[in-house]
Chain A
Amino acid sequence: MDLIVTDKLTKIYNKQIVAVDHIDLDIKEGEIFGLLGPNGAGKTTTIRMLSTLTRPTSGTATVAGYDITRDSRKVRQLIGYSAQAAGLMENATGRENLDLFGRYHHMDGGLLKERIDELLALVNLTEDANRLVKTYSGGMRKRLEIATALVHQPRMLFLDEPTLGLDIQIRVNIWEYVRKLSEAGITILLTTHYLEEADRLSHRVAIIDKGKIIATGSPEELKSAIEGDAISLRMPSASAEEQAATFQKTEKILSAQPFVKKIMATHDGVNVYVDRADEAMPKILRLLEKEGVETASTTVSRPSLDDVFIKYTGRTIAEEAAQNNTGKEGK
């Protein structure tokens, strides 16, 4: 059963900035659905529309059959929303944070207390429950923050960039909690610009770029659409012009070879897509050496979601992230 269905969902800011452009999504009950894309792709705007915070400019969406604009009150009872920002009251304890969100969902006091104890245990914060949040570490905050979205036992949970800016160990830790929640039956929509996160957590992924969905499917389906292996050649560091020149030269040499399927520039070198990396690698290196193109190192990888992104957009997500590091997604 589809828990969320969107029909040409669109958001245009100030009559000219198209943040989300005619998106059609269907999210099935019980799945973890990943919305993957670079910063500014429209992920946050999509999640804000589905969670009733932002009104769509056109198009519709329903959560469990309720329209997000007309039945917003009903929708709010069914969903939990975990913000990209800290999303917690700093000068209150962990327990007080959970309590207020329960109260705002009009939960009965006794039931709420039980639920809070249960959640604190789930996110491993029982012992820190009565400390002020301003004394918490980054990982503790995120765990508590997700818990505040779960107090009222929502059917649908929105996680907006759940591990943004967190260390890798904490990130893995949060992933575990997300999986636990999913096993408990809750449907999850998460946005991320971390490929690994989308790949490892989601049952299905939609890749979004410039407000449009460019591909949807399970991570395996999406990756298998990319045939063959990727060989990443890292070139010795050089100026931008030199890099461009090296890329052109490499492209000229390799595109003449029948075994090379595609060549892409990366921020520090070149990605070459071939059917069999083990056979292609020695040939490539020999050719380049003969023509005087230096390579610093090589890596062979099975196709990743990044390769899917490259296939549809011609850019890598990592490059986008580096360029837009300071730019925040429009609210």
Chain B
Amino acid sequence: MDFASDVWYTLARRFRNGLREPIWIFFSLTQPLIWLLLFTQLFKNLALVPGFPTSEYLLFFAPGLIVMMAVFSSAYTGFDILQDVQFGVLDKMLVTPANRYAMIVGNILNALVSMVIQVLIIFGMVYVMGVSVATGVGGILLTLVVVCLIGLAFCSLSYALIVATRSHTALVVIANLLSLPLMFLSSAMMPAELVPDWVQTAMKFNPVNYAVEAVRPLFVGGYDWSSYGMGLLVLGIFAAVGVTTAVLAFRNFGK
């Protein structure tokens, strides 16, 4: 009961904070649109290459973009608590009887909610552009599950990094260093069949790739339970590692 209340008030505080930053809302809503338009225009003719899985680059790229949004926005969520760490607010919160894990859950839920909204906007755009998703509403729901898992993993790691280093720079450098290569070493933009062998090998070790592979059939073709199941397994493990890291970082905070 107390746990639920601690989660709720943490979340409510974040929502209120978010609503006080209309510019932030504006950008996080328009960003998916800009990316979708730019990428689909830029890579439009890729779909003409022999061996490309679909004649619509938009359908191919939308799942990649969804995963990319999830990775990018969750990798930087550590900034949400940076001020709390630096201004001693987190210290004061930890001196209350509130459950510290409930605080983590509340903060992550906040990040996931905005991520889900962004993903729904992309689905809306795809629909408006006159392309239909192969698996319809069922596919949208399954996509959101994957997005939440990968978001959970990256949010947790991002929080752990901020709590452990208390450094703005560390997060910027590491998030920048990792997020783009993680995208390029996946089939988000290019089908695996069209990239060099070593990239294909690297993809096998990249959790982001499993997210893309799990979601793509829902857009192109239809339900593919083996790649979806594989995605859930890999992302489940990745999320568990992330959450454990975050819990350990919080436990050691200030000790």
Q: Smallest CB-CB separation from B20: which chain A residue?
A: A91
* Contact residues in B for A92 (Cβ distance below 8 Å): 13, 16-17
A324 to B80, CA, bound (A): 32
Q: Smallest CB-CB separation from A149: which chain B residue?
A: B92
Q: Is B237 an interface residue (CB 8 A)?
A: no
Q: With a 10 A CB-CB cut-off, give which of A48, A77, A83 has the most chain B CB atoms.
A: A83
A92 to B84, CA, bound (A): 12
Q: Is A320 an interface residue (CB 8 A)?
A: no
On whether the beta carbons of A83 and B83 are closer than 8 Å, the reply is no
Binding site for A on B (CB under 8 A): 2, 5-6, 9, 13, 16-17, 20-21, 83-84, 86-89, 91-98, 254-255
On whether the beta carbons of B13 and A54 are closer than 8 Å, the reply is no
A163 to B89, CA, bound (A): 18
On whether the beta carbons of B88 and A77 are closer than 8 Å, the reply is no
A79 to B92, CA, bound (A): 11
**A81 smallest CB distance to B (angstroms):** 4
**B102 smallest CB distance to A (angstroms):** 9
On whether the beta carbons of B9 and A103 are closer than 8 Å, the reply is yes
Q: Which of A73, A87, A96 contacts B92 (CB 8 A)?
A: A87
On whether the beta carbons of A105 and B97 are closer than 8 Å, the reply is yes
A79 to B20, CA, bound (A): 32
Binding site for B on A (CB under 8 A): 48, 51-55, 73, 76-77, 79-92, 96, 100-101, 103-106, 132, 148-149, 152, 331
Q: Smallest CB-CB separation from A84: which chain B residue?
A: B88
* Contact residues in B for A52 (Cβ distance below 8 Å): 94-95
On whether the beta carbons of A53 and B94 are closer than 8 Å, the reply is yes
On whether the beta carbons of A100 and B91 are closer than 8 Å, the reply is no
On whether the beta carbons of A81 and B13 are closer than 8 Å, the reply is no
The 6 closest A-B pairs by CB, nearest first: A85-B88, A104-B98, A83-B88, A104-B96, A81-B95, A103-B9
* Contact residues in B for A55 (Cβ distance below 8 Å): 255
Known contacts A104-B6, A104-B96, A106-B2: does B254 contact A87 (CB below 8 Å)? no
On whether the beta carbons of A103 and B255 are closer than 8 Å, the reply is no
A132 to B21, CA, bound (A): 13
On whether the beta carbons of B97 and A76 are closer than 8 Å, the reply is yes
Q: Smallest CB-CB separation from B83: which chain A residue?
A: A90
A54 to B253, CA, bound (A): 8
A104 to B13, CA, bound (A): 12
Q: Which of A84, A87, A100, A132 contacts B9 (CB 8 A)?
A: A100
A104 to B89, CA, bound (A): 13
Q: Smallest CB-CB separation from A152: which chain B residue?
A: B96
Known contacts A55-B255, A105-B97, A106-B97: does B91 contact A81 (CB below 8 Å)? yes
**B19 smallest CB distance to A (angstroms):** 10
Q: Smallest CB-CB separation from B84: which chain A residue?
A: A89
On whether the beta carbons of B255 and A54 are closer than 8 Å, the reply is yes
Can you report 7 A-B residue pairs in the complex whose CB atoms are below 8 A from each other? A53-B91, A81-B92, A86-B89, A105-B97, A106-B2, A106-B98, A132-B20
Q: Smallest CB-CB separation from B85: which chain A residue?
A: A85
On whether the beta carbons of B88 and A53 are closer than 8 Å, the reply is no
On whether the beta carbons of A101 and B96 are closer than 8 Å, the reply is yes
Q: Which of A76, A87, A96 contacts B13 (CB 8 A)?
A: A96
A100 to B87, CA, bound (A): 16
* Contact residues in A for B98 (Cβ distance below 8 Å): 103-106
Instruction: Known A-B contacts: A83-B91, A92-B16, A103-B5. Give 7 more (CB < 8 A).
Output: A73-B97, A83-B88, A89-B83, A89-B84, A104-B6, A105-B97, A106-B98
Known contacts A54-B254, A103-B9: does B95 contact A88 (CB below 8 Å)? no
Q: With a 10 A CB-CB cut-off, give which of A48, A77, A83, A104 has the most chain B CB atoms.
A: A104
* Contact residues in B for A80 (Cβ distance below 8 Å): 95
* Contact residues in B for A103 (Cβ distance below 8 Å): 5-6, 9, 98
On whether the beta carbons of B87 and A79 are closer than 8 Å, the reply is no
Q: Smallest CB-CB separation from B96: which chain A residue?
A: A104
* Contact residues in B for A83 (Cβ distance below 8 Å): 88, 91-92
A103 to B97, CA, bound (A): 10
On whether the beta carbons of A48 and B16 are closer than 8 Å, the reply is no
On whether the beta carbons of A85 and B87 are closer than 8 Å, the reply is yes
Q: With a 10 A CB-CB cut-off, give which of B92, B97, B98 has the most chain A CB atoms.
A: B92
**B90 smallest CB distance to A (angstroms):** 10
On whether the beta carbons of B89 and A88 are closer than 8 Å, the reply is yes
On whether the beta carbons of B17 and A104 are closer than 8 Å, the reply is no
**B139 smallest CB distance to A (angstroms):** 37
A57 to B89, CA, bound (A): 25
